[in-house]
Structure 1
Amino acid sequence: MLLATLAGTPRYLAPVGGVVVHDADDPPPIPVGAIVLGVGVTAPDDVRSLVRLACLHAAAAVLIRQPGERELAVDDLLPDEGMVVLGLPAGVSWQQVIAVLGTALQSPPHPKVRDLGGREVGDLFGMAGAISDLIGAHVTIEDRNSVVLAYSDHQGETDPIRVEVILGRRTPEPYWAFDEERGALRAIRESVRPVFLPPLDLPDGRVTRGRVAVAVRAGDEILGSIWGVVDKPLTTEKDDLLLDASRLVALHMLQLRAGADGARRLRTDLVATALTGGPEARSALDRLRLAGQSLIVVALTLNEPADGAYTGAAAHVTKLQRLAVSFQVHLAGTWADTAVALLDDTVYALVPSRREDTEVSLELTCRSFIGRGAEGAVIGIGRVVHEAAELELSRADADRALRVLGRRPPEPSSAPWADRVARASDVEVEALLMELRDLAASSKRGPFGAYARLLAYDETRDSTFMVETLRAWLDAHGDVMAASVATHVHQNTFRYRLKRMSEIGEFSLDDPAARFTLQLQLHLYPPEPATGRSSR
């Protein structure tokens, strides 16, 4: 196992009430049956206090960083019956554990299935363990996208690649590329029997052990694959056992897919209903276990057009679906009750706000998500609302922030999240100008008055002379010295240009209303750059 049992006896059949990250300065609510993560809790007294608190709330388990020798007397923890204290080994990050637990808890309840080799297995993890016993190999079960669905125990006895696969919940790109290059994946897809794959010599000097793999099929459809760590090909008898096991796994995966689809559709419907803010919103929030809480709506989408072709559109949707799952897992580390759903082309998250700095923390969490490789994604964050009827306002905020981010020109930056995450309150002016620009375009309005006359003057001379002078003057708040420096001309020359500008535009430089009108139009109707135009 990846986690060591330090004390207590787990209740294997008890439902898990979620994952909670413990904060000593601001203790979060602990649901019944929760797994409590003691991040940074290392002092013996602090560990004992956390275990007592978890027992008080009938939590299922406490997870702490595995102590070294003589650091903590685990026999003194004395958890309640049914409680268990688990140890996280060195080298495994808390984020990895949160991702693994979050993904596992999203799976629907597993139906009972038939015996496998004399063992009753109630879920894919049970199946992985049973298959491991049958063929004498450490096993992972993956879907057709190489995402790990289940695995057998004793990861440390194989090779480091298996540990990376389990912690990352999918086959890392380099190893997947190696298998693709040597034709392994094609062989697995085309063979009706298990395929033996020799060890790999990796560029970093490590050597993997061999693998045996078989496709999991439902008719002509490939649902996934089963992988076992072996040093040589299996015997014919064990090959047959693995092939028989793949058929049972296929049945179970179909059942899981049906259950997951139903649960996902229900969650999507509830989130959509809540976001409307209508009379059914409160009931939807109650079913999502978010009723009576202050909430923030977060919106995520891909800032890239979907290919019009069928395959391109399908890839776009698939990428959004993966982002939705990843975003749910990422948010669950801090906000366990968050509800995430993909609606049309946007992923929406309803995030509970239980503290004053939730908006700041949420923005940092979203930046972290973008920085971890969410390529092409942009995230908008709405306001905090306290009533179900106000959720549509927070959603509108988040949508406006997405529009602003989608129209911003890309700027080179060392931060991967730059210009890809924004709170609505921080881009309100840009959003208002965008809405005014759309309104003006829909009503076929355009430049008027002094600004229109300046544009016409420049147009007849194929230049941007007047508009650039106007922009520099307004940007400098009427400071002639600063404006002349910005335009690289002498102050007297700039003063002459201002005089000509006021004459051509027929307005007074001292009129505040005229200045405001010119500045607003400059933002609404910026002159389009044209090749060959001069600012002189």
Structure 2
Amino acid sequence: MTARRRRLARTAPGGLLNGLPGVSVAVAPADPHATITGVVVAEPDVTPRLGPGTLVLGIGLGVTTIPDLLAAAARARSLAVVVRGPAHDDAGTDLAAAARAAGVGLFVLDPATPWTDLLTLATDAAQERGLDAEEADDGVPLGDLPALADAIADMVGGPVTLEDAEFRVLAYSRFVGIMDPGRATAILGRRMPPEWSEHLDRTGALEQLRSTNEVIDVIDGPGNANRRLIVAVREGAARPLGFIWVAEAAGPLPAHAVETLRRIVPIAVPHYRRHHELLSAQHRHRQQLVRALLQGHGPLQRYADELELPRDEPLVVLAVTAATERDLPPRTWERIVDHVALSCGARRWDAAVTRIGRTVFAIAHLSRGGHTDAVSRLAHDIVLRSAPATGEQLCAASSPPAIGARALPGRRAEAERALAICRSRGTQGFVHYDDVRAEVIVDQATAALRSRPDLRLPGLDRLRVEDARGRGGGQLLITLGAYLESGGAIPATASCLGLHPTTVRYRLDRISSLTGFDLDDSTTRLACALELRATESGGDALTP
């Protein structure tokens, strides 16, 4: 923590907020002598767990719901509430009066300031105060990950690196000596190096880390690396909270290192859980920003900047859903979101992930000069590894790349349309929009036909009536469909239907007689094919 943040951690909420120039307006001042004990995020339709001394961040709240939050904060003896909303109009005056009456500080965050900036400072402040007063059973201040890394290094006998569930470096132990190049690269790059990701993936160790509690012993790492021990930190069968890495240094690791590391995992769980709790509100906020970008709501460029999406490099929208039609419980969807985010992190993709309805979206940054084949590899990895990670088979689709936040809603629509094509095939898989663009065009055209019965070809209705009466063998529509699918070739139609070409010609003459269609005309054949496709995929939707 920087010296500036340490000073802020010892201030009241007013001092914390005023430490960021211009970020807030004090509508109703907080106790100038109080200090923050925790940070709570209050969102629409979510009941926050307020407590004494907490700083409450009212993210996404409407003006009418803020007074209720102020009253709840007063009952819980919270210190202050921060919202985006009116500061100087009549509504702001009413809110200020309500806050003063309740004895709760009220601050209004400047529209140009990301919530994440405030959340980072506030959680740092609350965490430092909590660390002074609360220790885990191992004697390490709860949530102090650098201290935890030092303690594990002492117990196991080698330098330690702690990573989160997306393989980003959270903390590392102190070490004097020659540092293994792989460990140095991870620390400097703040995440697992790509060569290690590829090595663990190729050897199956990555899948073991995702799905088991076993200590992975890596003795043949890339670049003649020293031996590594890696273990996932998780509670029960839940997704990993993160990973612990132990590296061999000048000498070999002790014989007890593997067993010691296995016993350390339960000790590390509460530390990771504290870290996870502090970040969960930030993750929820990021998901809200991603949804807004994909839906085209709000100041898109500011949201993209807050998510650190580049302004001048390609962005791709990846859409993922379950192959099944049945309803899935919320927990399963959470596992799918986690699986997509973890897969992106393991392949070093900077991606922002969220779920909208039955679709999980990832906005991925395709670095300049990068190729869309990399997107395909990522999507195939997500799909192929989906069953053990989520319990479900998945389908995935990706949009073409685009530059700029304003293009993202359109790219989302393209990814969804391609995903619908993928799901219609009835199996798990992946498609790129450019590869199924023709199918998407036809699918959109038939969807338009289903909503426009006035565009119907009456002749096809006459064929349906004739087939219903059993005349002509009741096979006129089937014959026409096979003829159209065969590109107007009678021999191919006959082969498809198992008929003699003469029989096919007779039926086609009968079809022309009943409908008035000139089946030698390519436009007529196209119109018939589109309506038949719309009827087959939409049931009796064309019937008035």
TM-score, normalised by the number of residues in structure 1: 0.52
The CA distance in 2 between the partners of 1:409 and 1:175, in whole Å, is 30
Residue number among 251, 264, 271 corresponding to 2:290 in the alignment: 271
Distance 1:473 1:421 in 2: 31
Q: Deviations over 1:374-400 (max 9, x none)?
A: 662222222333333222111111111
- C-alpha distance in 2, partners of 1:524/1:427? 18
- Give the equivalent residue in structure 2 for 1:421: 430
Which among 341, 365, 380 is matched to residue 352 of structure 1?
A: 365
**Alignment partner of 1:300 out of 319, 336, 341:** 319
Question: What is the CA-CA distance between 1:406 and the residue it aligns to?
Answer: 1.8
Cross-structure match for 1:290: 309
Residue 318 of structure 2 aligns to which amino acid in structure 1? A
Taking a change above 3 Å as real, the CA distance of residues 422 and 226 of structure 1, as seen in their structure-2 partners, is closer
- Deviations 1:52-102, CA, capped at 9 Å, x for gaps: xxxxxxxxxxxxxxxxxxxxxxxxxxxxxxxxxxxxxxxxxxxxxxxxxxx
The residue aligned with 1:363 is 376
- How has the CA–CA distance of structure 1 residues 164 and 326 changed in structure 2, closer, same or farther, with 3 Å as cutoff? closer
1:509 equivalent in alignment to 2:516: no
Counterpart position of 2:347: 330
* Aligned counterparts of 2:317 and 2:414: Cα–Cα separation in 1: 9
Cα gap change, 1:151/1:372 in structure 2, threshold over 3 Å: closer, same or farther? farther
Q: Distance in 1 between matches of 2:348 and 2:164?
A: 23
Q: Distance in 2 between matches of 1:519 and 1:285?
A: 43
Query: 1:321 maps to what in 2?
Result: 338
1:461 aligned partner:
470
Q: 1:446 to 1:277 in 2, by over 3 A?
A: closer
Q: Name the aligned partner's letter for residue 391 of structure 1.
A: L
Which residue is equivalent to 1:397? 414
Structure-2 change in CA distance of 1:315 and 1:124 (3 Å): same
Equivalent position SS for 1:477:
coil
Residue 354 of structure 2 corresponds to: 341
- 1:496 to partner: Cα distance: 2.0
Q: Which amino acid aligns with 2:275?
A: L
Q: After TM superposition, list the pairs within 5 Å mapping 1:449-528 onto structure 2.
A: 449-461=458-470, 465-526=475-536
- State the AA in 2 paired with 1:461: G
Output the CA distance in 1 between the equivalents of 2:361 and 2:211.
32
Distance in 2 between the 1:459 and 1:528 partners? Answer: 19
The Cα of 1:371 is off from its aligned counterpart by 3.7
Kindly state the Cα deviation for residue 515 of structure 1 after the two structures are TM-superposed. Answer: 2.3
- Aligned equivalent of 2:76: none
Q: Give the letter aligned to residue 148 of structure 2.
A: M
Q: Give the 5 Å matches for 1:214-225.
A: none
Aligned-partner residue type, residue 409 of structure 1: G
Matched, 1:133 2:142: no
Deviation at 1:130, TM superposition (A): 0.9
Tell me by how many angstroms 1:231 deviates.
8.2
Letter of the 1:450 partner, please give it.
Answer: G
Mark the CA change 1:127 to 1:353 in structure 2 (over 3 Å): closer, same or farther.
closer
- For structure 1, the residue ranges without an aligned partner over 5 or more in a row are 1-12, 14-106, 156-162, 179-212, 233-237, 411-418, 530-536
Q: Name the TM-score, length of structure 2 as normaliser.
A: 0.52
In structure 2, C-alpha distance between the alignment counterparts of 1:466 and 1:389, rounded to whole Å: 49
Distance of aligned partners of 1:498 and 1:256 in 2 relative to their CA distance in 1, 3 Å threshold: same
CA distance in 1, matches of 2:413, 2:214: 42
Q: How does 1:154-303 map to 2 (within 5 A)?
A: 168=205, 171=208, 249=268, 252-278=271-297, 280-303=299-322
Deviation for aligned residue 1:141:
8.9
Closer, same or farther: CA 461–140 of 1 in aligned 2, 3 Å: farther
1:202-233: CA deviations, max 9, x gaps?
Answer: xxxxxxxxxxx99989xxxx99999999989x
Contact kept? 1:378, 1:420, Cα under 8 Å: yes
Q: CA RMSD in A?
A: 5.6
Alpha carbons of structure 1 residues 282 and 256: separation in structure 2 relative to 1, 3 Å:
same
What is aligned with 2:48?
none
CA contact (8 A) 1:164 1:172 kept: no
- CA–CA distance in 2 between the matches of 1:340 and 1:348? 6
CA distance, structure 2, for counterparts of residue 164 and residue 342 of structure 1: 28
Q: Structure 2 CA distance, aligned partners of 1:474 and 1:313?
A: 44
Greater Cα offset, 475-484 or 398-407: 475-484
Measured after TM superposition, the shift of residue 403 of structure 1 is: 1.6
Per the TM alignment, residue 281 of structure 1 is displaced from its structure 2 partner at its CA by: 0.7
**1:261 CA displacement:** 0.6
User: 2-side partners of 1:308 and 1:286: how far apart?
Assistant: 35
Q: Is the 8 A contact 2:320 2:395 kept in 1?
A: yes
Change in 2 beyond 3 A, CA 1:170/1:129: farther
* CA displacement at 1:424 relative to structure 2: 2.0
- Check conservation: 2:399, 2:415, Cα contact below 8 A: yes
Over 3 Å counting, the alpha-carbon distance change for 1:223 and 1:385 in structure 2 is closer
In 1, Cα distance between the equivalents of 2:313 and 2:335?
31
- Mapped to 1, the partners of 2:525 and 2:156 lie a distance apart of 81
- Contact 2:162–2:244 (Cα < 8 Å) also in 1: yes
Question: CA separation of 1:298/1:252 partners in 2, compared to 1, >3 Å: closer, same or farther?
Answer: same
Given that 1:453 and 1:505 are in contact with CA atoms closer than 8 Å, whether structure 2 keeps it comes out as: yes
Matched, 1:387 2:387: no
Shift in CA distance, 503/266, structure 1 to aligned 2, threshold 3 Å: same
The structure where helix makes up a greater share of residues is 2
Number of residues of Structure 1 aligned to a counterpart in Structure 2:
367
Q: Secondary structure at the match of 2:309?
A: coil
Q: Percent identity?
A: 24
Aligned to 1:434: 443
Q: Distance in 2 between matches of 1:349 and 1:215?
A: 24
The question of whether the paired residues in 2 share the 8 Å contact of 1:275 and 1:281 is answered with no
Unpaired runs of 5+ in structure 2?
Answer: 4-119, 181-198, 216-231, 247-252, 540-544
Q: Per the alignment, do residues 315 and 472 of structure 1 end up closer, same or farther by CA in structure 2, a change over 3 Å counting?
A: closer
Q: Which amino acid aligns with 2:154?
A: D
Structure 1 residues 372-381 or 223-232, which shifts more? 223-232
Residues 236-291 of structure 1: CA deviation (Å, up to 9, x unaligned): xx9xxx89x967x4553343122221231232233223324455111112222324
**Matched position secondary structure for 2:511:** helix
Distance 1:369 1:304, change over 3 A: closer
Give the AA of the match of 1:402.
L
